[in-house]
A and B are shown apart, each in its own frame.
Chain A
Amino acid sequence: MIEYILAVVLFAIGLYGVIVKRNLIKIIIGLMIMEYAVNLFLALIGYRSGGAPPIVEVGKNQIFVDPLPQALVLTAIVIGLGTTALLVSFAVRIFEKYDTFDVRKIRKLRG
């Protein structure tokens, strides 16, 4: 149970980063920490004590870990990279136009 609580604490640290920080790169870092925490939590849910990786050897009777959360996390990791790349490209374009990463100054300059 304490592993679940630690995963939720990691998610909460990422959430704190998104709410409080005012540098765009720090906000992106907070989003990435949240995404790592969610993948970690999903992989923790599917673990079975004494289980083996879900590769079946025909003829032997084994205990496997749950393969369904692994299938979910496998695509989630690659999608996370796509999302991060798009966010970073937006941040780079904003820096090119306003010459700062600070979200308060970006809000002030309009037009």
Chain B
Amino acid sequence: MEFFSHQTSFRFMATRKVWYTLSALLMIVSLASFFTRGLNLAIDFTGGVSGEVSFPRAVNVEDVRTKLTAAGFREPQVQNFGSSRDIAIRLPPDAKSTATEIRTRLDTALRAVDPGVQVTQLDVVGPQVGNELRVSAIWALFFTLLGIFIYIAFRFHTWRLSSGAILAVLHDPILVLGFFSLTQMSFDLAVVAAMLAVIGYSLNDTVVVFDRIRERFETNRRSPPDVVLDQSINQTLSRTIMTKVVTSIVVVALLFLGGPVLKGFSAALLIGIIAGTYSSIYISSALALDLGLTAEHVFPTVKKAAFDHLP
């Protein structure tokens, strides 16, 4: 089986202005939403209490909320999930009480609703820890991007290719952020991990395409750059699609079967993979072309000798 029975010859570069506009639009929407609506940060980053409790019989959500408010918890969020017996609770951070005190107060308040209550999961994160996790997540993003920029600069000697790759790398996590901001899905530590993985893999495609561009320029110095770029993308197209389909199979399995804990994580990966496929075709290469990339910039820069010792 093959997706494309013969060598495709789509003229990607000819339509690049359309795709630029689309990308710019998506990024603007994402950033606008991020700066206005913000993210629905999970307690990993805000601090506070998040718990899941199971009652022996159906309970009224309003009743639970009233009991929690009476116990001194400000603005408790109480929701059903799964069945009418299972309730998810979220409480804002409370700097005045220790984790132990909160736990005791919560237990008492819930027992007042029904003594048979079972706390299946409870996370209490101090505001200080939440702050630190937020800072370390930002640092992680920063260092990953920095590491990748250094790598690109070192790997592709021409700044034309590097800028294209960097923009593509920024493009994908911005769209993921936009998705989480627009849907207001809970943004937790696992999503940050997924975003970093997305950054890594988004570059993956770009690198494969660039690798081919380099090779095409080497063998075909006289062709106009846009033809070379189109050829390179077409030649790697079936690989790009194939890899993405396979990775999507496992990520979709995670999304639907992995349970609520991995929902945000797998959603972020899926969005990132889709955005990454597109950006490696339309952003990184097209941008390099518009920055005036020609064969002279790429060739003869890379020594194949580095890969003499194949395994």
Q: Do A and B come together as binding partners? A: no
A contacts, CB < 8 Å to B: none
B contacts, CB < 8 Å to A: none
